[in-house]
Structure 1
């Protein structure tokens, strides 16, 4: 099962981090769940974030890149791509993954990868952090971004 073996997170005050959450607009129910999970994580870590919406998952990297260039410590990218009968799934998943990785490396910004790549709507709903979902990928992506931003900050300060 996906999610098995996830690391335990230790909460800390991330209120001094500059954070953005960028969310795609497709699949409203799933996206609402992912955004709610991201907000729960921000609250748990005492952080705030600017929230931005983009048309789809393909557009996440370019907005993340703009935020990285503006000095954000962490960018949480939320989206969902559900497999269909064309190669569209592979292209969008690859572009989002490669693009967000490039942003992280080029700008040295923590990226929370909250892009669901699922075969079915049911799989996406099961990961969206909704009532009855088995996983909360919005929370997990936000937590990972905040924790990574803290590590990057420690490295920059000579720790």
Structure 2
């Protein structure tokens, strides 16, 4: 889907201004602002962006067109103290969408994972080599409100939520 979208200027802290809903954008604008236009860590950001593009393409193939992908995290900032480790993605999907769970699982972040062969356990397993942190969100008012509240929160350099501070995040329609 192509449309003209312009995200607002980032704040002095390198964040999107807070909003009541995600900012609608496209992948070209994401790359321009958060990779090409980033003040630091462009190589790391380019790697995360490539993984994000591939991830969203796979999500569209496996679930179908019309998915709303909410994108957040350190990637959707211009923080200067650290490179983003990944892009956070919430795939907002109609509760009546029909897809095969086995096809979607490899696209999601899984917690408390263990395997029989090879024998291993991990607290967190992320898709795309850890470059994407992805979750399924049912497209229902309560779930959308919970994720909006969570993704509008601001974390400091140590990962602690800063009380009373809010920020924006983006939405791409696949």
TM-score (norm 2): 0.30
Quick check: which has more Rg, 1 or 2?
2
TM-score (norm 1): 0.32
